Amino acid sequence: MQEAVYQQLSHALMTGHFDPGQMLTISALAALFDTSHMPVREALRRLVAENALEIASTGTAVVPTVNRQRLDALCDARIIVEGAATELATPKTDARLIRSLEHMADEHVEAYREKSVPTMLAKNQEFHFTIYRAAQSPVLFQLIETLWLRFGPYLRMLTEHLQPQLEAGDGESYTRHHFDIIDALKAGDAAAARRHMEDDIRTTHALLQTLYPSEESSAQSA
């Protein structure tokens, strides 16, 4: 039960379910996951240890706040680690995995057409992690999970920003990278697969940067 609650809470954080700065009380999460306080308390303890959550002065677990410096650092690390995992996964990719990835990419596009940002983010996470598992590197995979946990608050902000763009029909750039990655995996081109994965992360990073101007830009504007 403790592991199940941890996995559910981790997935919720990775897909932007919680707001930056939101307090996560044990009683509320126990009600959400329909469980007792003990497994929730243990899950929160683990997530605090992984820097996915912080502890407020009241002792309550809190989703970290967001800022440009942390955003840039997380994206730089994601590009390095996830690019490496994609490169490692390329020679280990078979026809069955390709079919699964194509199905996930199609579901991601369908979510875009239905203008459902939460579903898009969930399908995006599923697509990425399927590739990272294929790398068969437990160390890299653990690092990626930690980075995504810490990236969750930014995805929450992205949800609110993307919705108007999807309503206006401007969202294809958030789906095309997946098909580029699949084409590279089919061709067995590890360098291209890595490059397209890095481009996918950079696209999200660039969009989020518009929401969090750098301190230097803010000072110049003032």
Residue 130: helix, strand or coil by DSSP? helix
- Residue 75: inside a domain: yes
Distance CA(2)–CA(38), nearest Å, equals 8
DSSP secondary structure letter of residue 136: T
Per-residue pLDDT at 220: 39
Where residue 40 sits, what CATH number does that domain have?
1.10.10.10
pLDDT band, very low/low/confident/very high, at 72 (cuts 50, 70, 90): very high
Per-residue pLDDT at 207: 85
Give the model confidence (pLDDT) of 128-164 as tens digits. Answer: 999 999 999 999 999 999 999 999 999 888 877 776 6
Q: Three-class SS string for 20-66?
A: CCCEECHHHHHHHHCCCHHHHHHHHHHHHHCCCCEECCCCCEECCCC
Structurally, the chain folds into a number of domains equal to 2
Same domain, 27 and 55: yes
Distance CA(45)–CA(91), nearest Å, equals 38
- Residue 100: inside a domain: yes
Supply the mean pLDDT for the chain.
89
Same domain, 9 and 73: no
For residue 22, pLDDT over 80 is answered with yes
The string of DSSP letters for 205-222 reads: HHHHHTTS--HHHHHHH-
- Residue 133: inside a domain: yes
Q: Which of 20, 45, 62 is the last residue of a domain?
A: 62
Q: Which of 29, 62, 95 is the last residue of a domain?
A: 62
Domain assignment of residue 78, given as a range: 68-209
Q: What is the dihedral of CA 117, 108, 10, 135, to 10 degrees?
A: -150
